[in-house]
Structure 1
């Protein structure tokens, strides 16, 4: 009797049996679920990361307008300028070869958005409106808007003298918007848009314009190269101080890439390469913000 009492009754044996079946079924279900998750994981693509993609490809595809001296120029068919010198150093720091493409300015930002390029290295003025849509690198140069006139035109001296005059400027630029606002403040300026600054300079030299508006570095380089043809207003600049930078996509995938670009620029600043490049192309050095300006 005592030995029999050590074993479960018939009802109890049935309950134990059902419990074991349930445990085995649950175990098989869990194993199947885990295998399913593993199998699913094999088909889910890894999270996108632009920096990893660039390093894996071994190249950085860029876009710029190669008609924007001293930043971007074609000399005897060869690309050169301040932008190239800067980005050569950045690309080397990242560990990828730069691929330089000559793209019209009006097609650069739209092309960046649809991922035709990894970065727009044309000097682009940082504005609050653009900051809402794009990520920017650290500033690469001063971009404060300035004015240049024909060297023989002594009637134009200070920026306010452009009232009632015809002034050329590259279309779609921040300098265009600042010129428009300045002209309205003065009481009227005829603004003529150009696809490239070279076209505007040609019309100014030919007497078809009274002045050309652009960033101070561009116009200072122009006057240095052709003092017999062009002269800066005195003072040359008007409006708020602004900066040039490079443009990148503003999304989660690009965050590490943007940081790598900026880290490289900071390293080049700290070891003196940025100063040397500025002095080579601009004849002077301007200390730049170590953070992206937000205003």
Structure 2
């Protein structure tokens, strides 16, 4: 009799455990239930994310505000240095990254990317008073800054290897520090995406100038999330929100607002150029 009771209780426990497992929430259900999407980003990557008069602002703020409306949730921002953003995502500190990040083959193996929100082709920013740099190859043998652990740094180094004398690639925790060194004459240029440096040059034309043409391979910015079954439905929902924004013109309006131009981006990047 006692054995039968124990067996019945064990069976009930297994049934209950299976029922709980069957109803375990995935990432989208957790976000929806909490009413909050936690988004990690840095705040030194204007015009995507930056601090203006003490206020966090930029394209990413506007895009995720629209994503929040589509998902019916609030956006909670978690800010940290770029070098810690992707590790923070993997550690579960937030649900999504607003970086954004350049879509690369190596990153696609580890993360799932949303539809692109802008072009990310790398170009050069120089001092407006520096007449020695009129084309990208003029950086040969000179010190050029880029962000630490960024695709822009990798492309600067790769491009430098094609020149007679490779430039000295200087790594910075934030691009703002690189811009400050450029303005002070401590480096000859900054390698960053064309949208970023175009914005910086537009804000301070007396200090900075864009060197044409862009020297990097054509690439795109998108938002990375985790590449697992638990986050699949959340990423699907965010993808759908961005594609809806692209279709109804909201994304183009935000590009025009922050870049002064729009970008013809694909709905997805399946085979990145880098």
Counterpart position of 1:219: 197
Instruction: Kindly report the root-mean-square deviation, in angstroms, between the aligned alpha carbons of the 2 structures.
Output: 2.0
Q: Deviations over 1:138-170 (max 9, x none)?
A: 111110000011001111011111111110111
Spell out, residue by residue over 1:24-64, the C-alpha distance to the aligned partner (whole angstroms, 9 max, x if none): xxxx9x98897565344355463441111100010011111
- In the alignment, is residue 228 of structure 1 matched against residue 218 of structure 2? no
CA distance in 2 between partners of 1:47 and 1:292 (Å): 31
- Structure 1: distance between partners of 2:244 and 2:113: 17
State which of 131, 142, 151 in structure 2 corresponds to 1:165.
142
Give the aligned partner of residue 143 of structure 1.
Answer: 120
Q: Secondary structure of the equivalent of 1:185?
A: coil
* 1:182–1:257 CA distance, 2 compared to 1 (3 A): same
Match for residue 277 of structure 1?
254
Structure-to-structure mapping, 1:255-274, within 5 angstroms: 255-274=232-251
TM-score by length of 2: 0.92
Shift of 1:270: 1.0
1: distance between equivalents of 2:116 and 2:247? 14
Shift of 1:70: 0.7
Consecutive unaligned residues in structure 1, runs of 5 or more: 1-27
Alignment of 1:1-12 (within 5 A): none
CA contact (8 A) 1:147 1:219 kept: yes
Who is 1:242 aligned against? 219
Separation in 2, partners of 1:83, 1:290: 18
Gap runs ≥5 in structure 2: none
- Does the CA-based 8 Å contact 1:71-1:83 persist in structure 2? yes
Cα distance in 1 between the residues matched to 2:50 and 2:201: 16
SS in 1 for 2:131: coil
Query: What are the within-5 Å matches in structure 2 for residues 11-30 of structure 1?
Result: none
- Of the three residues 81, 84, 89, the one matched with 2:66 is 89
Deviations 1:255-286 (A, max 9, x none): 11111001000111111101110111100111
Whose radius of gyration is greater, 1 or 2? 1
TM-score if structure 1 supplies the norm length?
0.86
Partner of 1:111: 88
Partner residue, 1:189: 167
Change (3 A) 1:49 1:43: closer
Partner of 2:42: 65
